[in-house]
Structure 1
Amino acid sequence: MRLELGILHDNSGSELLPELALMFHTLLVSQGILVKLKIQIEHLLTMR
């Protein structure tokens, strides 16, 4: 997915867009991981 974003934006000739897309993608992924962790922690707490 990251490569596709870079290729799409490279066609416009802008060097900045792929970096922004990559940062945005990384942010979304890390946020997804945090949400999963939060759910797991809440699940463990309610199990007690």
Structure 2
Amino acid sequence: MVFDIIKHDLPDFKSKLIDLLNLEVKANSFDPGELNAARNSLFYKHVDFKK
């Protein structure tokens, strides 16, 4: 059951989450300084900010 959720539901969730975050970035919902700090942070090195 857990494998099915990871295999089938998470990719769709990730895609929708990326779309939502891109929409909010374009709407200037995030503080630009905080966003740049996250982009340059080693803590978020696993996040692809280019998407």
TM-score (norm 1): 0.47
Greater fraction of residues in helix: 1
Scaled by the length of structure 2, what TM-score is found? Answer: 0.45
